[in-house]
Amino acid sequence: MPLDDQNLQTAIKTLREKSGKRNFTQSIELIVNLRDVDPKKPEGKFQELLTLPHPPGKANKVCVIASGDMAVRAKGAGADLVIERGELEALAGDKKRQKDLAETYDSFIAEAPLMPIIGRSLGATLAPRGKMPIPVPPTADIKGQIEGRRRTVLLRLRGQPTLQCRVGGEGMTDAEIAENVQAAVGGVEGKLKRGMENVRSVYLKATMGPPVRVQV
């Protein structure tokens, strides 16, 4: 069940009023507090990648790990970085480079046959951050994959029954922000055992502003 559109629009308007003018573009975060969900139990684990209708304020930086034809197509499709097989194998012993990659790039796509090497070379660094690559076949539409990943956000529970992700930036229209919020909340609802009954509260927050509650 989507959020009430009028309540959501009111919250976005209030957020803009309370966040004030800054000399940078503020991000807008969605915060979903859950109830009757224990993230310390296996059944309470939650980790979900959601593709939003609009890039959430700023487009994600996408790294593609591929070889041959796919690597060439990924470069032509505008990937922010393409790592080919030789460089991938060299990363295995370079912890600093691994950390830099994990911190610089928001999303990773991998040519499926390279996943075993990726697991050995980057798994220990990317997996804890929820950034393990999505494997795709060598013939995949890599341009479409990259475009989709630029609009993707990760939602996961980490110790507390709260989910949080970026859903926009203050430069977006209210309608675009609302569409992203509805998509994210809908994705959460679909993964919860009791849907919206497991949602205690929903907030929006600008980088420098106070949390604003969305009436659910």
- C-beta of residue 71 within 8 angstroms of C-beta of residue 81: no
Do residues 67 and 145 share a domain? yes
152 within 8 A of 107, measured Cβ to Cβ: yes
| CATH code assigned at 81 | 3.40.50.790
User: Same structural domain for residues 122 and 80?
Assistant: yes
Of 96, 118, 149, the position where a domain reaches its end is 149
- State whether 44 and 78 are in the same domain: no
The tens digit of pLDDT for each residue in 154-179 reads: 888 878 899 999 999 999 999 999 99
Q: Quick one: tokens of 22?
A: 């800054």
> What percent of the chain stands above pLDDT 90?
68
List CB contacts of 4: < 8 A, sequence separation 6 or more. Answer: 215
**Same-domain status, 124 and 66:** yes
Of 91, 167, 190, 183, give the one whose Cα is nearest residue 133.
91
Query: Is residue 49's pLDDT more than 90?
Result: no
Q: Which of 127, 149, 171 is the last residue of a domain?
A: 149
**pLDDT grade, residue 73 (50/70/90)?**
very high
pTM above 0.85, yes or no: no
Could you list the residue range(s) of the whole structural domain that residue 101 is in? 62-149
Average pLDDT score, the chain: 91
Whether the pLDDT of residue 98 is over 90: the answer is: yes
Q: How many domains does the chain have?
A: 2
What dihedral do alpha carbons 102, 138, 75, 93 form, nearest 10°?
40
Same domain, 116 and 194: no
Task: Report how far apart, in Å, the C-alpha atoms of 173 and of each of 26, 29, 57, 85 are.
Answer: 13, 15, 10, 41
**Final residue of a structural domain among 92, 125, 149:** 149
* Mean pLDDT confidence for 96-105: 94
In this structure, are 10 and 48 located in the same domain? Answer: yes
What is the DSSP pairing of strand 152-156 with strand 27-34? Answer: unpaired
Alpha-carbon gap, residue 113 to 140, rounded angstroms: 13
Clarify whether residues 77 and 29 are in a common domain: no
> What is the rounded CA–CA span in Å between residue 210 and residue 19?
7
CA–CA separation, 190 and 105 (whole Å): 27
- Report which of 192, 203, 216 is spatially closest to residue 38, judged by C-alpha positions: 192
